[in-house]
Amino acid sequence: MSAAIQKRPPFGSHSQARTLVILTASSILLLTSACRFGGSDGPEPDAWLEIRGQRISIEVADTPEKQEQGLGERDSLAWNHGMYFEYSQPAFYAFWMKGMRFSIDIIWLRNGRIVGFETNVPFEDTGNGPTLRPRELVDAVLEVPAGYSAARGWQIGDVVRFERVKAN
């Protein structure tokens, strides 16, 4: 009786080391992308907002067409992402849930500070949903996923820092 002895390369062989390097590099790339874009493979944000030291990537609705469209006809908004509406004059801007398919928080802003919230605003499958207005004049509005503002601990009076990445 003879037993066949099969030789295995020792751990750390070139092919195993190469595989380990590839897996490590892939993991780092995925983690970097997830941190930068909140876990989605979206384009570079138009801007960043910082509130309470927390940065969130922002899509800026800076034309009448983009403002009218808003987040309508989308299925979701990734966590750590938002849509920002900036206005040249303070007013009581009305927001409605036209074509929305998910719930959001609406954060009312004036002079770089939070002045109010509408949290967990529901969408309606059959219509346009509620129309909402701030209780005081605003010059900007931020929309984020429902529950996001509470999860981050945002409060009235918090400073909001806007940093544009892309030019109009």
Asked if 141 contacts 49 with a C-beta cutoff of 8 angstroms, the reply is no
E-strand ranges in 23-112 read 47-51, 54-61, 81-91, 95-96, 104-110
SS3 82: strand
**pTM above threshold 0.85:** no
Instruction: Kindly report, residue by residue over 17-51, the tens digit of the pLDDT.
Output: 444 434 343 333 333 334 433 444 456 889 999 99
Residues 6+ apart with CB under 8 A from 132: 94, 95, 96, 106, 118, 121
**DSSP single-letter state for residue 153:** T
The pLDDT of residue 78 is above 70: yes
Per the model's pLDDT, the better-predicted residue between 85 and 19 turns out to be 85
Of the candidate ranges 23-32, 91-100, 128-137, the one whose mean pLDDT is the lowest: 23-32
